[in-house]
Amino acid sequence: MRHRKNKLTLDRTAKQRVPLMRNLAISLITHERITTTAAKARATKSMVERLVTAAKPKTLHARRQVMAALNNAKAADKLIMTLGPRYAKRQSGYLRSIKVGFRSGDGAEKVLLEFITE
């Protein structure tokens, strides 16, 4: 049965998928915008939005949760010091994805994933 199996696997094993998602999230947090495929953007968007929500309170527990997910001190600091307070009044919907065309090699749909500026 496939009950409650709704995560995006991206046709990768967990050993491949977890570092991929971590690297995409770190790049998105440090640069505040990335261009990637539509499937990777959907998966990254849900992960990063959870991290921004977790980083809103400036507590040690929030920092440890973010560090456990990202394993990058620079990205965790930016998330807690700048992005968390920026979206303090917003409940959700911190990211937007804009379709930018198709990749020339395999025709995959490309998406610009960026943080919303208020």
Residue 1 falls inside a structural domain: no
pLDDT category of residue 82 using cuts at 50, 70 and 90: very high
CATH at residue 86: 3.90.1030.10
Type and span of the H or E element at 8: none
82: number of Cβ within 10 Å: 12
Whether 4 is covered by a domain: the verdict is: no
Global pTM reads 0.93
**What is the secondary structure of 47-82 as a DSSP string?**
HHHHHHHHHSS-SHHHHHHHHHHH--HHHHHHIIII
Percent of the chain with pLDDT strictly greater than 70: 99
What is the span of the domain harbouring residue 22? Answer: 14-115
Evaluate whether residue 110 is within a structural domain. yes
| Top-confidence residue, 45 or 4 | 45
Residue 81 resides in a domain: yes
Domain count, the chain: 1
Instruction: Return the DSSP state at 116.
Output: P
